Amino acid sequence: MEQQIIENVYELIDELKQSLRYKRLLVLKQQIEESSVIQEKVAAFQQWNDAYNDVKKYGQYHPDLQHTRTQFRKVKQALYEDSIVAEYKRLEQEIQQRLDSISAQIAQAISTKIKHPNELGILNRH
C-alpha cells in the first residue's frame, strides 16, 4: 500500500510539473538568471536587505535607520515592479496555493483533526 501511495505522489508531481504555470515559471526563472538588468536589481536588493537587517537590530537608535530603510524600499520596489519578476512571483504564489490546497485536501481526507496551512499559511487549530 505504501508503494502505491508513493507512486501516486510521483504521478501528482509529474502532473504539476506539466502544468503551463510551472513551465512558464521555469522560463521566467531562466530569463531572470540571464538578465543582467534584473541581476543588478537582485544584487542591490540583497545588499540593502543585509544592510537593513543589520541596522534594524538597533531599532530607532541607529543613525542610518531611516536612510537604509528608504533605500531598501526603493530597491525592493524596483525589483518587484520588473514585469518578469512580478509575473514570476505571481506564478510562484499560485503554485504554492495549489500545493497548500492539495495538502489540505489530503489532511481533511484522513481526519479533520490534522493540522494544515490555510490560505494565509497559518496552521489551522482544531
Instruction: Report the interhelical angle of 2-17 vs 83-110 (nearest 10°).
Output: 160
Q: Which residue has the higher pLDDT, 99 or 60?
A: 99
Is the pLDDT score of 1 beyond 90? Answer: no
Say how many CA atoms lie within 13 Å of 16 toward its Cβ.
Answer: 17
Classify the C-alpha dihedral 44-45-51-52 as positive or negative. positive
Is the pLDDT score of 121 beyond 80? Answer: no
Classify the C-alpha dihedral 94-96-101-106 as positive or negative. positive
Instruction: Please state whether 122 falls in left (phi above 0), alpha (psi between -120 and 50) or beta.
Output: beta
**Cβ distance 92 to 25 under 8 Å?**
yes
Task: Give tens-digit pLDDT for 5-16.
Answer: 889 889 999 999
| In the block, residue with C-alpha cell 504554492 | 96
Task: Give tens-digit pLDDT for 33-51.
Answer: 999 999 999 999 999 999 9
Instruction: Please state whether 123 falls in left (phi above 0), alpha (psi between -120 and 50) or beta.
Output: beta
Task: Give tens-digit pLDDT for 93-112.
Answer: 999 999 988 888 888 888 87
Is the pLDDT score of 117 beyond 80? Answer: no
Residue 122 has what pLDDT?
Answer: 62
CA distances to 38, 41, 51, 79 from 55, in Å: 26, 21, 6, 21
Domain ranges of the chain: 1-34+83-126, 38-81
Quote the percentage of the chain above a pLDDT of 90: 63
Instruction: Report the interhelical angle of 83-110 vs 36-56 (nearest 10°).
Output: 70
| pLDDT, averaged across the chain | 90
Residue 120 has what pLDDT?
Answer: 62
Residue 5 has what pLDDT?
Answer: 86
C-alpha distance across the termini of the chain, in Å = 28
Q: Which residue has the higher pLDDT, 123 or 79?
A: 79
